[in-house]
Structure 1
């Protein structure tokens, strides 16, 4: 089994460890910034090696793939080090702090063509998304005219939730990078086109949180964003994401064309040829371990399976993946939105 090392004890431990294991990857190492917490999590999950120095994980002889699940401010440095050590890389989104760093990462990836370098846009691997892309390419909704993507959740609505890197713009926190990057990449993937112009707004509704010591600290990262995108071939899109709603809603993607529409909502894909929406969701081809529920966790299982296949020689298994070139393209859009919003 290919060995993977995970840098990060949040999403990396909670979702990636069980998802990647179920796909056939051997999770051999885990690193976190807090030694005691990392040791406890590694013990609970049965990860054989743990530490707090990410460079030690990269050097681990059984680690073939490095999964970087850290604040974006660390992505570039960690990626360059992993590639230099001859390790495949799966990097969390957003790609980096800005397009300059993303460009450095792409150049490093191109200098190591024998290594897989992916941005963790796992929704690309869901059967429903791959089917949606095929339907659009086949002209089943005609020419794409416009799209609307919404992400509404309450994950940061609790005012008692402590300040952490997610509250800090300098570390790459905020909903634009966390969710907007997914929305931008997904649109590029589904309609097969590039963003030619982007504008939008970001806002911080919760301006202050207490850190782990109880000290009040300013929140500089956005918890709400909305943006309008224009694509090279004429399509437009509106994307919106919030983490401070009072309730959660399923993520939604609706793409309208000259001959119909497609909608992804609550895990299902719907096709409207002009006479009403019909469920066209393809069945899942994989089973999921306990706790792996929802679009992103399930997409992580499919991503892991693609990595296993690619490492075994089937490089086409990673065809849906977001490359570092995709990461740079999306980062440029994020930068344009931030610039227009005065961030």
Structure 2
């Protein structure tokens, strides 16, 4: 018996959609990409021609209304995610939505409600990828009791260099397009949740160091989204956390560092400036942090399109 293919329309062919989702979906024997719509008819036609997609739509509502579409892959900027996701689910379409999930928590809750209204449909947000290879190992070590009770989880993300006041404007610098999303803060919080659970409280301080950026015309555009932020609070399971994200510090020791300090030991996940990410661990009374092997059976990987 031959399985019918899942017919997917792409709404918003951004960089990640082109580099990850479209190639990944095409690797699935049970999936067929049948159409695409971008911000303009011209760009839709261009993407369709470049990527060999048979159909374009005049707008995103037409893609959702197409009876020959079973699912949509939403690759637009966050300001459209909630509206598109809710419309697609209520039209009976499965949804793969790019991160960041939504503009704010109200939109995110509305998306969740739409998913619960349609329990027979799959609604997936693209997961945070940075820690996928080590998530299983970190959770196993914590669950084993090897580091004792969690005292604090301390994550520092250095995603830039010294401030550049001539840097180009990006949609992520715009509250109109990005909403309350700040740099990779939400992505790294997702990783922290996988390891130690949800936050119970949230306190934050942030600043905008590069206050203007140059748009495509060369004009300076004022920036309201922080480029340096520190978030602290208590964890629901006990203990504290600190999550610091910046794009404006130089000579940082790594791209990112995550330390989980317990009463009996310490875990560290380091993404170095050069080379592959790695894990370190140490026990109370031991000689210090040392490499921790990742069990191949527990090594995660990118499988968004497969799932």
Tell me the CA shift for residue 199 of structure 1. 0.7
**2:182 paired with 1:177:** yes
How far apart in 2 are the matches of 1:58 and 1:118? 16
Check the 8 A contact 1:167/1:173 in 2, yes or no: no
Mind listing any 5+ residue stretches in structure 2 that lack a counterpart? Answer: 272-276
Check the 8 A contact 2:172/2:183 in 1, yes or no: no
2:206 to 202, 205, 212: 202
Cα 1:271–1:187 change in 2 (3 A) is same
Q: Bigger CA drift: 59-68 or 90-99?
A: 59-68
TM-score in terms of structure 1 length = 0.73
How far apart in 2 are the matches of 1:89 and 1:53? 17
Tell me the CA shift for residue 228 of structure 1. 0.6
Residue 187 of structure 1 corresponds to which residue in structure 2?
192
**Secondary structure class of the residue paired with 1:303:** coil
For these two proteins, the number of residue pairs brought into alignment is 292
**Aligned ranges for residues 1-343 of structure 1 at < 5 Å?**
1-8=5-12, 9-22=14-27, 25-51=31-57, 53-123=59-129, 126-154=132-160, 159-172=165-178, 176-191=181-196, 193-246=197-250, 249-266=254-271, 267-274=277-284, 275=286, 276-283=289-296, 299=301, 301-305=302-306, 307=307
Cα 1:153–1:194 change in 2 (3 A) is closer
**Secondary structure class of the residue paired with 1:90:** strand
Tell me the CA shift for residue 265 of structure 1. 2.2
Residue 274 of structure 2 corresponds to which residue in structure 1?
none
How far apart in 2 are the matches of 1:4 and 1:28? 6
TM-score in terms of structure 2 length = 0.81
Tell me the CA shift for residue 180 of structure 1. 0.9
Cα 1:182–1:23 change in 2 (3 A) is farther
Cα 1:38–1:109 change in 2 (3 A) is same
How far apart in 1 are the matches of 2:121 and 2:99? 19
Work out which structure has the larger RCO, using CA pairs closer than 8 Å and 6 or more positions apart in sequence: 1
Tell me the CA shift for residue 78 of structure 1. 0.8
**Secondary structure class of the residue paired with 1:96:** coil
Check the 8 A contact 1:270/1:281 in 2, yes or no: no
Q: Bigger CA drift: 255-264 or 165-174?
A: 165-174
How far apart in 1 are the matches of 2:8 and 2:119? 19
Runs of 4+ in 1 over 6 A off after TM superposition: none
**Secondary structure class of the residue paired with 2:113:** helix
How far apart in 2 are the matches of 1:282 and 1:157? 40
